[in-house]
Each structure stands twice: as structure tokens, then as C-alpha cells.
Amino acid sequence: MRVASIVLNNFKNDSRVLKTNISLQNAGYDVQVVALWEDGVEEFETVQNIPVHRMKLVSKNWSKNKLVQLIKYFEFLYRSVKEYRNNDVFHCNDLNALPVGVVIKLFFNKKAKIVYDAHEHESYRAGYSEKMQKISRWLESKLIKYADKVITVSYSIADDYEKMYNIPKPALVLNAPFYKKVEKKNIFREKFNIPKDDIIFLYQGGLGKHRGILEFANIVKNKKSMSYVVMGYGELEEKIQELAKNSQNIYFHKAVSPDILLNYTSSADIGVCIEEPICKSWDYALPNKLFEYMLSGIPVIVGGLSEMINFVQKQDIGFILKNIYNTESSYKELEKISKEYQNKLVNIEKKAHLFSWQVQEKVLISLYKDLDNVKSF
């Protein structure tokens, strides 16, 4: 079966789409990623043996006016129909890719199958206005009926989609990394000359607002026996670098490539993942770094997001920091956690393989095999 994996980004750092296509290819499917071209990336290339076509749109450099953006979308849609309509399966990553599969199925290839892979709670994304939420829910409610299979990334999103759209509960494929044995490293301690007895707290990922990065720094700043490493890139990068210069125990490390990331992660003692619930999509999220911490053999501290709190409590792999804005009470909690975190290590090692991509891909492949039993539209 020929699978066109549609994604409306440049496919430069989309680990989920890459893992999905690697798994499908290994299972014998003929995969092709269809993405968007932009300056600095190749139009055609092979990424880890996965063929990628980034479409060069004529309208690429036109105005960012909303109407013009719609024209750009229709150009992408037209090109996708023209070049890939004869594929057997359209794996639509996120809601913005779903119309491509549905248009092809309705008007050009009635035998085509659609797999809708919702990487977030699509109609409740961060930054969406109430009007945008309503539009997204309406669009998703209409289009999701044509999907032969639906995939989501967390338990709560799957439950919500089942209720909202009156569809069978979507399959759950978590954003977990490939399992591998990760040896404990000591990169941060050696690079930053961190004292041997300090507990190293690590935040890794996007350096944006509402992620609790600066709030956690305020809790531990200049506290004895605690060091805080922030690793990644984003809008808060300069602030964090400045904070690191003026603090005795806060350190900034630039983002590293995925193939060596876990060596750095394992160099910490405790991972930090205390995003704020600014929207339902975030509140229901189970992000990559949660599983990366687990695979690296370190417990995690979570805060405001309900799905992560439930997961950490159920799997017993970390701790809950209830109020990051109360620095005094949070510091006392961290002191307690610093004395107890090693009690979680044995359980984390047991659970790491259960929440690896090797386990998640079994759900994906089983879903694809079942497509043969789905009647054509």
C-alpha cells in the first residue's frame, strides 16, 4: 500500500511524523512524506531512508494576509491532488492536513483510506481565539466522519474526541521515543563544574512562555545543593542566558541533536515539566520530554497539566509541584523531593520500555492492517 503522509510544516524537526513513517516502512508500506518547502531545506530528500517531497509553492512569498494564506493552502491542496491522488492511504497529520485526504477521497479516489493523526486537541490549540475554536470544531466535526481511522496522543484527548464527534474511541499512539539502553552520563556536571553533591534539575525543550521555566528558576536560584540546567531554544533564550550569568546554580545549554539528546538528559537527576494549562490541548498533553526523561532513567516533576499529573501518579515515576508561584513552599517541596527521588528509579526502569515507540508502533501497525477491513466510501 502506498501511503502519503501529509504534514503542513517543513518536516525538519517533526519526530513523530518521522517515527511513524519509519515504522510503516519497516512493516512493508511504501511511504512518502509530503510537506512544505521553505528556504534552507531541500525540495526532495531522503531522511533516514524516508522519501520527502517538500512542495515549492508559487505563492510561497506572497503576503501573509489571511485571504492570501487561503490561496497558498489551495495551491498545496491542488498540488497534492495532482501528484498523489492515486495513493492508497492518506495519513493526515493534524487538522490542517485532513482536508487534503478528504477532498481526494470524495472526488478523485473513492478507494483511498484516510488515517487522521491528531497530534493535539486540534480545536483547542494554544493561541486560538473562541471564534477560531468554534471554526476548528465545526471543520473537524465535518471532516473526521470521512476518516477510516483516528489516532490521538493522550488518553483524555481520545475520550474527548469520542464524546465530541460520536466516533469510535481513537487509537492511542503516545509521543514516546525509541527504546534503547541509556547509560548514565555526567556531561552537565563536568561541563559546568557542578558540585558532586548537587541535585541537577533539567528542563529540556522549547524555551517559550507558560512552560514554568523562569518560575522554576526563581524557586532554586542561588539555593545550596541544587543546580538547574535549561537546555533548548526559543523566545526566552536570551533571558535564560542572562539569568545564568547572574546566578551561581543556573546554567544554559543550547539544544542538541536528537541522536545525542538522551546522553544529556541522563546527565541530570530530575526532569522538569511544569507547563501551565493555558488551553485544553496543553492540559491534555503528554509531551515527548516526559517519555525522554523516563527513558533516560530520571524521575520527573510535573505541575499544572492534568494529563501529566494523572500519568505520573498512576505510573509512579515522579512528583507533583503544586504551586510554582509560591517559591517558599515549592522550595521545601524540592528539598523533600531531593531526598526521595532515588526511590523512583527502579520503577522508572521497569516502565521505560512499556512507554517506548517500539510498543506504540504496534498499535499503529495493527491499525493499518485493519484498514483492509474498512469498506471504501
> What domains appear along the chain, each with residue ranges and CATH number?
2-176+357-373 (3.40.50.2000), 187-352 (3.40.50.2000)
pLDDT band for position 65 (50/70/90)? confident
Predicted confidence at residue 184, as pLDDT, reads: 94
Closest by CA to 6, choosing from 103, 133, 142, is 103
**Cα within 13 Å of Cα(254), Cβ side:** 1
Q: Is the pLDDT of residue 24 over 70?
A: yes
3-state secondary structure of 339: helix
Please answer whether residues 84 and 62 qualify as being in contact, where contact means their C-beta atoms are separated by less than 8 angstroms: no
Dihedral-angle region of residue 184 (phi above 0 means left; psi in -120 to 50 means alpha; beta otherwise): beta
Q: 278 falls in which pLDDT band (50, 70, 90)?
A: very high
What's the confidence (pLDDT) of residue 377?
A: 54
How would residue 315 be classed by pLDDT, with cut points 50, 70 and 90? very high
Per-residue model confidence (pLDDT) at position 100? 98
What's the pLDDT at 373?
Answer: 76
Phi first, then psi, for residue 321 (nearest 5°) are: -105, 105
Angle formed by the axes of helices 327-340 and 213-220, nearest 10°: 80
Distance CA 69, CA 140 (A): 19
> Is residue 50 over pLDDT 70?
yes
The whole-model pTM stands at 0.93
Q: What is the share, in percent, of the chain residues with pLDDT greater than 70?
A: 99
Inform me whether the pLDDT recorded for 330 exceeds 70: yes
Distance from C-alpha of 128 to C-alpha of 364, rounded to nearest angstrom:
29
Residue range 79-135, pLDDT digits in tens: 999 999 999 999 999 999 999 999 999 999 999 999 999 999 999 999 999 999 999
Rounded CA Rg of the chain: 22
Rounded to an integer, the average pLDDT of 20-30 is 97
**Cβ atoms of 309 and 315 closer than 8 Å:** no
Supply the pLDDT for residue 322.
84
pLDDT at 319: 97
**244-253, 269-278, 366-375: least confidently modelled range:** 366-375
Residue at grid coordinates 555526567: 186
- The rounded distance, in Å, linking the Cα atoms of 229 and 175 is 23
Q: Please name the residue that has the C-alpha cell 533548548.
A: 232
Q: Provide the pLDDT confidence category of residue 144 given band limits of 50, 70 and 90.
A: very high
Buried b or exposed e, range 295-321, using 16+ CB within 10 angstroms: bbbbbbbbbbbebbbebbeebebbbeb
Q: What is the mean pLDDT of the chain?
A: 95
Q: How far is CA 140 from the centre of its chain?
A: 20
Strands 113-117 and 89-93: parallel
CA-angle at 202, arms to 196 and 207, nearest 5°: 145
Burial environment of residue 263 by CB neighbours within 10 A (0 to 12, 13 to 18, 19 or more): middle
Distance CA 61, CA 271 (A): 41
- The model's confidence at residue 325, banded by pLDDT at 50, 70 and 90, is confident
Q: What is the mean pLDDT of residues 235-254?
A: 95
* Per-residue pLDDT at 349: 92
pLDDT of 225 reads 94
The predicted structure's pLDDT at residue 376: 59
Distance (Å, whole) CA 157 – CA 280? 9
